[in-house]
Chains A and B, each alone.
Chain A
Amino acid sequence: MAFQGTKIDPKKFHKSQLKFYFFLVPFALFMILPIIFIFSNAFKPANEFFAFPPRIFVVRPTLDNFKRLFTAFSESNIPATRYLFNSIIVALITVLATIFISSMAGYALSKKQFKLKKIIFEINTLALMFVPIAVSIPRYVIIAKLGLIDTFAINILPLIAMPVGLFLIKQFIDQIPDSLIEAAKIDGANDWYIYLKIILPMIKPAIATVAILSFQAAWNNADITYINSEYLKTFSAFMTTLTSSTSPVVGMGMSAAATLIMFIPNLVIFILMQSKVMNTMAYSGIK
């Protein structure tokens, strides 16, 4: 019973399934729409951008947008690979650190009994609801006080303690039955062992989700408030300055091409992670 989640596709198609397709197929089309849009937009020639009514599919695909973008790449003083390298490092560290830190905190908040835990989680949920840009200047003040302006670490540090991440992970750990952990304790497992061997494998879908979300936060982060040195900027910051410094008509095609380039890693991470999100949810192990 418990392992049914690993083989979710029934082998045969049956007429009784038709009614489900009736709803699923049209909805699924809507869900794929933006992806198609991003791809076809990047190949649109300038006149198709301003066609009315706006079209989703490209009529006469062209590589002009990419050519312009790459010329702009080569005209900047620092090679684009430098920004790319920064971005990859930032994204990698952010994702790993976010998963580690929020799953540890989630375990403590969900399964440990101590006084502050309710308050901490409540503050976290409240912090979720606060307008992110409203804290940008106070955040600048504290980062300046800590002497972190213009350091590489500042690309990473503010992203790690992600309130959404803790929120999702804690909700998933709540679903794990306490009796499972008690059983492990009776067998002599310590907290670290329980965390590594029981909690982490069981919340894989949540971890994969948080990985996707935090990768996006890190990869798409174009915030250059804390960075002045060109050598420390990320790829997305570079893309933003590049596309916003050209004229709006040319810029539109360039930014569509840039959007596609920025988007592809998101898609790759998503495809890598989603099988974990979808397949490992049924391992509760207890009836």
Chain B
Amino acid sequence: MIFLKKLRLSTKETITGLIFISPWLIGFLTFTVYPLIQSLWFSFNNVRPTAEGLMITFVGFDNYKNLFLGDVTFSDILINYSLQIIVYVPVIIVFSLFVALLLNQKIKGQSFFRTVFFLPVIITSGAIMKSLLEQGATTFEGLTKIASNPILRENLPPVLFSLLEFLLNSFIMILWFSGVQILIFLAGLQKLDKSMYEAARIDGASNWQLLWKLTLPILAPLITVNIIYTVVTVSTYSINPVIDKIQTDMYRPELGLGYAAAESWIYFGVIVLIIMVMLLLNIKRKSRAY
């Protein structure tokens, strides 16, 4: 009897769950999942648009083979941009955490600052960002001057220097990409239990210790969320070199859609890999903190 009741409860839960999710699921399956599967199928085919519709011939792994063996530019662009993402993400995470901690302090004009730091979410999507980039608004003269300083160039090891140069040159981009991340961190910070901090303070913990032993471990799940969100926005926003390459190849008649599809699946694989590595690092750090 108890068993039956339990079963009924769980099926009820499943049914309500499915009812709540179904409108979203239907849209998601038709407009996202199905096209995704189709593009995976395309990547193993030679697909050419003709007057009668799409001409599809199966070619196996040829597209992937041509990509790595025949196309010099693609792997270059891919590696370059992946390195950029790997540098961007930790910087954005640290920066947005830093700003969120600052914005969580009791200061005058706090709500104004919160608004200002959330502002970039309305520019980083698409068209506006593109025109800003074209007109050179994403670099700031003072910063690029620091980057081209000969003393720095001579005295720093080349790897470190090029990293610094890259960071300074893309500083504004980093700021603009951190809007939603700051918001997520801030929401987490506001839910922190104040009495825990009081207790720690009475025990003699310094602010620095509070940050590392209390705040960061509690924020760890949000760091995971932010890592995913950051990688996603940086890797899929419409003006990045890899997407540009995929887009041009898509409309090149001698290559066809299959080739572009193969490119996007490789890019997708690389991004998933980056996210997995970053999440693993984050989990490791988290377990050490406890």
Interface of A toward B, CB cutoff 8 Å: 1, 5, 8-10, 12-13, 17, 20-21, 23-24, 27-28, 30-35, 37-38, 41, 49, 53-54, 56, 100-102, 104-105, 107-109, 112-117, 120, 123-135, 137-139, 141-142, 146, 157-158, 160-161, 163-164, 166-168, 171-172, 174-175, 191, 195, 205, 209, 212-213, 216-217, 220, 222, 236, 255-256, 259, 262-263, 266-267, 270, 274-275, 277-279, 281-282, 284, 287
Indicate if B32 sits at the interface (CB-CB under 8 A).
Answer: yes
Point out the residue from A107, A113, A281 that lies within 8 Å of B20, measured CB to CB.
A107
- Asked if B193 and A287 sit within 8 Å, CB to CB, the answer is yes
Interface residues on chain B, number (Cβ under 8 Å)? 99
B59 contacts chain A at the CB level, 8 A cutoff = no
A216 contact set on B, CB distance < 8 A: 122, 125-126
Separation in Å of the B107 CB from the closest CB of chain A?
4
Cβ contact within 8 Å between B128 and A34: yes
Interchain CA distance A167-B42 in the complex, whole Å: 28
Contact B141 A120 (CB under 8 A): no
Given contacts A54-B135, A134-B39, A217-B125, contact A157 B31 (CB under 8 A): yes
Q: How far, in whole Å, are A174 and B222 apart by their CA atoms in the complex?
A: 11
Q: Which of B151-159, B209-217, B232-240 contacts A (4 or more CB under 8 A)?
A: B232-240
Residues of A within 8 A of B180 (CB): 168, 209
Cα A282 to Cα B221 in complex, Å, equals: 18
Choice from A13, A134, A270 contacting B264 with Cβ under 8 Å: A134
The answer to whether A20 touches B135, judged by C-beta atoms less than 8 angstroms apart, is no
Are the CB atoms of A125 and B137 closer together than 8 Å?
A: no
Q: Are B20 and A105 touching (Cβ within 8 A)?
A: yes
B268→A108 contact, CB < 8 A: no
Contact of B38 among A20, A138, A164 (CB under 8 A): A138
A115 to B14, CA, bound (A): 8
In the complex, what residues of B have CB within 8 A of residue A1's CB?
A: 194
| Residues of chain A contacted by B16 (CB below 8 angstroms) | 108, 112, 191
Q: Check B24 against A104 for contact (C-beta < 8 Å).
A: yes
Whether the Cβ atoms of B36 and A127 lie closer than 8 Å is yes
Interface string of B1-17 (1 = CB under 8 A from A): 00000000010011011
- Which of B24, B113, B190, B272 interacts with A105 by CB under 8 Å? B24
List the A side residues contacting B190 at CB < 8 Å: 5, 281-282
7 new A-B contacts at CB < 8 Å, known A31-B176, A53-B141: A10-B106, A32-B119, A131-B267, A132-B236, A135-B36, A164-B232, A284-B191
Chain B hits for A30, CB < 8 A: 140, 171-172, 175
For the complex, give the distance between the alpha carbons of A219 and B140 in Å.
30
Whether the pair A105, B229 counts as a contact (CB closer than 8 A) is no
Contact B34 A138 (CB under 8 A): yes
- When C-beta atoms are compared, the residue in chain B nearest to A54 turns out to be B136
Closest residue on chain B to residue A191 by CB atoms: B16
Task: Evaluate whether A127 and B33 lie within 8 angstroms (CB atoms) in the complex, with A10-B106, A108-B17, A263-B128 already known.
Answer: yes
- Asked whether A23 lies within 8 Å of B118 as measured between CB atoms, the reply is no
**Interface residue? B23 (CB, 8 A):** yes
Residues of B within 8 A of A32 (CB): 116, 119
Known contacts A32-B119, A129-B231, A139-B31, A114 near B132 by CB under 8 Å: no
Q: How distant is the Cα of A222 from the Cα of B34 in the complex, in angstroms?
A: 23
Q: Flag whether B149 is at the interface (Cβ < 8 A).
A: no
| Beta-carbon contacts under 8 Å, B79-102 to A | 98-99, 102
In whole angstroms, how far apart are the Cα atoms of A130 and B131 in the complex? 24
CB of B250 within 8 Å of the partner chain: yes
Question: A124 contacts which chain B residues (CB < 8 A)?
Answer: 28
Chain A residues closer than 8 Å to B148, beta-carbon distance: none
Question: B66 an interface residue at 8 Å Cβ cutoff?
Answer: no
B220 close to chain A: CB less than 8 A: no
